[in-house]
Amino acid sequence: MPELPEVESARTVIERAGLHRVISDVDDTDSYVCRPHRPGEIKAVLLGRTLTAAHRRGKSMWCDTSPVAGHGDGEPGPLLGIHLGMSGKIVIADGQGNEIDGGDYWERGRAKGDYRYSRFSLTFADGGALMLVDPRRLGRVRLDPPLEALGPDAQAITPAQFRAAFGRSTAPVKARLLDQDVIAGIGNLLADQILWQAKINPARPVDELTPPETDRLLRALRRTVSAAVGGGGVHTLTVIPFRRPEAACPRCGSPMAHGTVGGRTTWWCPREQS
């Protein structure tokens, strides 16, 4: 599923090609993706506004919206929350349906995009459109999404925040990494790469980590997130192709081990992550 790097890619798509364009129409008819809003509710609020900024914390993404043009109160509009779910992508198209931007890991350059799985869209007054394309229909669009419970963003977490999060828990270290209330943005694949990079067993209780190990884990997190964002997604990371039966650790050649940690399928090197 999309993790922090994929959501960051979607955010930059909006930032590059979706801001400061007047919204002339909204397709919010998918009542499941747009729950709890009724069809037409998001449309009524967004018409005449523009998206003014695109933000992300962890896997959550939202946009600021402008006042309605010509209204005297000048009050900014609501936040527009967009969650990609398991397979969602943000695509920007021109007035003829030609794809302009879809992020680093989305095919571009087609004569006309296949938007059968568009679950939500904004049409701009200049003729273009922004779409949430989601084949599995697990994305989510809502106004003023709750953001308070999210922990610090994994890309921006400070050493003090990280040490506090990993200094008082008996949970397995992988489960702690996956807890979005603790650190926002780390998914299953990122966690496996971070722990492999840090040479720490995923089932190790957090309160057994030494201060040097905690610092090593933070350095591995930063390197991993930076590499995934720069490469275009978690699929570009070193250990991901070796998360399969009969694969060997790309660093030492030992057969990869797997099991369930924190309720998630987990792969590790039994030699280096003992």
Taking only the tens place, the pLDDT of each residue in 35-90 is 999 999 999 999 999 999 999 999 999 999 999 876 656 788 999 999 998 888 89
> How do beta strands 80-83 and 140-143 pair?
antiparallel
What stretch of H or E contains 266?
strand 264-268
CA angle 211, 209, 196 (to 5 degrees): 105
- CA 83 to CA 202: how far, in whole Å? 27
Residue 60 has what pLDDT?
93
* pLDDT tens-digit readout, 17-40: 999 999 999 999 999 999 999 999
End-to-end CA distance of the chain: 28
Instruction: Assess contact for 55 and 82: CB atoms under 8 A.
Output: no
* pLDDT tens-digit readout, 175-189: 999 999 999 999 999
Domains by residue range for the chain, with CATH? 4-143 (3.20.190.10), 159-268 (1.10.8.50)
* pLDDT tens-digit readout, 187-208: 999 999 999 999 999 999 999 9
What's the pTM?
A: 0.86
Residue type, 177: L
CA angle 62, 114, 6 (to 5 degrees): 35
Instruction: Assess contact for 50 and 65: CB atoms under 8 A.
Output: yes
Q: How many CB atoms lie within 10 A of CB 88?
A: 29
Instruction: Assess contact for 242 and 11: CB atoms under 8 A.
Output: no
Residue located via tokens 């190790």: 204
